[in-house]
Amino acid sequence: ETGVTQTPRHLVMGMTNKKSLKCEQHLGHNAMYWYKQSAKKPLELMFVYSLEERVENNSVPSRFSPECPNSSHLFLHLHTLQPEDSALYLCASSQDWGRRSNYGYTFGSGTRLTVV
């Protein structure tokens, strides 16, 4: 593992279900991110947390709800999703966040989500 662990690896859910994705980082990083990766699209940034505070929310529908209880854990709560939400959801962390930060991201392996 890369130091960022995501569970589950695969998830199939109905449109009326409620589920949560979990991300845990063991690197002592201060920033954590949720990304969506769809076929034939570049990575889309969904949410950014820096020191457990949400600092970016990129026009993501309210059916996606993030939670960051501490600097090591990040959750993405899902409810009443649509089939077009099927994608690979990637969690990432970086040492820091901000304009002067050149730190790279460490990504988890992702959760492959299928909405039926």
Partner 1 sequence: KNQVEQSPQSLIILEGKNCTLQCNYTVSPFSNLRWYKQDTGRGPVSLTIMTFSENTKSNGRYTATLDADTKQSSLHITASQLSDSASYICVVSQYNAGNNRKLIWGLGTSLAVNP
Binding site for partner 1 (CB under 8 A): 2, 4, 40-43, 45, 55-56, 90-92, 97-99, 101-102, 104-105, 107-110, 112
H helices of 53-116, in order, are none
Give the shortest CB-69-to-partner 1 separation in angstroms.
22
Q: Please tell me the distance from the alpha carbon of residue 85 to that of residue 89, in angstroms, as a whole number.
A: 10
Cβ distance to partner 1 smaller for residue 61 or 98:
98
- Tokens 């392996």 correspond to 109
Give the shortest CB-104-to-partner 1 separation in angstroms.
4
- Cα–Cα distance list, 59 to 12, 13, 45, 72, 84 (Å): 24, 23, 10, 24, 16
Give the shortest CB-56-to-partner 1 separation in angstroms.
7
- Tokens, residue 56: 């970016």
Cβ distance to partner 1 smaller for residue 24 or 63:
24
Cβ distance to partner 1 smaller for residue 79 or 112:
112
Cβ distance to partner 1 smaller for residue 15 or 38:
38
String of b and e for 64-91 (b: at least 16 CB within 10 Å)?
bebebeebbebbbebeebeeebbbebbb
